[in-house]
Amino acid sequence: MTYSFQFRDVFAAWEFLLDGLMLTLLLSAVTMVAGLGIGAAGAAAKVYGGPWVRRIVAGYVEAIRNTPLIVQLFLVFFGLPGIGIKFDAETAAMLTLSVNLGAYSTEILRAGLEAIPKSQLEAGRSLGLSGWQVFRYVVFFPALKVIYPALASQLVLLMLATSVVSQISAEDLFHAASIIQSRTFRDFEVYAVVAVAYLALALIFRALFALLHHLLFARR
């Protein structure tokens, strides 16, 4: 093999990588908050809602979970302008990722709510707890504990999935890699560096979720 690896060109463009990293983090953070919000509403609707509400939420969940993220992105970014709704790439990315995560977290959170037996709620009421107290102490924390591992790994997967938004030219970390690649032609080096960066992010996310788990559940 006569090829000599040159990572210098890649690291020389660190400003691009840093900008990209910032958008990746921003996208992940915004999507987690918005997606979990949608998921909480969806799960509540699916467990406590009437039959029609349940059917609509189920339709949303199945439509999102059975189609690829990249097609959803294309539909929002390239398709919606055709019927007069236009977003810039970053907004389209945030919107699509939130709606996408919303569907997955609806299912996860619903499983958590359903894991609490009804007799537990009745026991809580019979101890004189208010509705809010029952939700907080009997439903919320035990349910969160049950689904925490599934939720945490879903959120790490989401962070990795944000790389797909580079395909609608949102300038995230992966997009930065493509730009550096087209300027330096250091294909292998640049994608290897970015892969390691994502790996580091995934490990940091997992560590943070583990810490959060400790803070939330260590004394319960």
Partner 1 sequence: MIRDLSYIDVLYLIAAMRWTLALTVIAFLGGGIVGIVIALLRTANWPPLRWLGALYVHGVQGTPLLAWLFVFFFGLSIFGITVSPWIAAAAAYSIYAGAFLGEIWRGCLQAIAKTQWEAGASLGLSTAQQLRYVIVPQAVRIAIPPTVGFLVQLIKNTSLAAVIGFVELTREGQLTTATTFRPFTVYLIVAALYFALCFPLTRWSRRLEGRLHVAR
What is the rounded distance in angstroms from the CA atom of residue 187 to the CA atom of residue 173? 15
What is the rounded distance in angstroms from the CA atom of residue 195 to the CA atom of residue 171? 16
Does the protein bind partner 1 through residue 202 (CB under 8 A)? yes
**For partner 1, the closer CB: 203 or 216:** 203
What is the rounded distance in angstroms from the CA atom of residue 38 to the CA atom of residue 32? 10
Site for partner 1 in 15-54 (CB under 8 A): none
Site string for partner 1, 73-112 (x = CB under 8 A): -xx--xxxxxx-----------------------------
What sign does the dihedral 159-164-169-174 (CA atoms) show? positive
Joined tokens for residue 213: 């788990």
Asked if residue 171 lies in contact with residue 26, where contact means CB atoms within 8 angstroms, the answer is no
**Binds partner 1 by CB under 8 A, chosen from 32, 43, 45, 69:** 69
**Binds partner 1 by CB under 8 A, chosen from 16, 20, 23, 72:** 72
Does the protein bind partner 1 through residue 209 (CB under 8 A)? no
Joined tokens for residue 143: 């349910």
Joined tokens for residue 1: 């093999």
What is the rounded distance in angstroms from the CA atom of residue 148 to the CA atom of residue 143? 8
Q: How far is the CB of 128 from partner 1 (least distance, A)?
A: 36
Name the residues that contact partner 1, by CB under 8 A: 1, 3, 62-63, 65-72, 74-75, 78-83, 156, 160-161, 163-164, 166-167, 174, 177, 181, 187-188, 191-192, 194-195, 198-199, 202-203
